Amino acid sequence: MSKHQKEITALKEHLGKHQLKCTRQRELILDAFLKQEHITAEAMYHQLAKKDPHLGLATIYRTLNLFCEAGLAQARHFGTQTQYDNVSHKGHHDHLICTDCGKIVEFENCDIERLQEEVAARNGFTIKTHRLELYGLCSRCRH
């Protein structure tokens, strides 16, 4: 019994609803993905090469995008690459980023999210996702 049974079920539900099939590759990629906070397709490609040397990069991209559609992942453009965030546990994924050493701290703040909803409503928008990144210096780099 996997630790991530809930997410596995969620994916299968999505697959069923959309006439998609449950493949070995999708299960393999999901299993690896759920162990991460966030990962790039390229990183996952190298990571999974050990388990399945023939797993194609295109399949990883396709599958991670599938996870986004299924609501398990969320794509985020960071630098030149796309990070796929694991949002199956937390609803959102905000970041504090040290511009000096690159350290990333993740946080969540309900008050900020409530205010975001207000701003959106005031402008006639319905928010689906958001992205908040705070750039600065961590305590160590400030000195």
Partner DNA sequence: ATTGAAATTGATAAATCGTCTCAAAAAGAA
Partner DNA sequence: TTCTTTTTGAGACGATTTATCAATTTCAAT
- Residues within the interface to its own copies (CB under 8 A): 77-80, 96, 98-99, 105, 107, 109, 111-112, 115-116, 119-120, 123-139, 142
Q: Tokens representing 53?
A: 């040397």
Rounded Cα gap, residues 118 and 55, in angstroms:
44
If the CB atoms of residues 26 and 74 are measured against its own copies, the closer one turns out to be 74
Orientation of helix 24-33 relative to helix 5-17, angle to 10°: 140
Distance between CA atoms of residues 40 and 82, nearest Å: 6
Counting contacts by CB under 7 A, is residue 2 touching DNA?
A: no
Are 57 and 22 a contacting pair, CB within 8 Å?
no
User: Of the two residues 28 and 112, which places its CB atom closer to its own copies in the complex?
Assistant: 112
Among 17, 21, 114, 128, binds DNA (CB under 7 A): 21
| Consecutive H or E run containing 74 | strand 73-78
Q: Which two tokens stand for residue 94?
A: 């905000």
Tell me if 23 contacts DNA by CB under 7 A: yes
Of the residues 7, 39, 59, 86, which one makes contact with DNA according to CB under 7 A: 59
- Residues making contact with DNA (CB under 7 A): 15, 19-26, 40-42, 52, 54-59, 61-63, 65, 77, 80-82
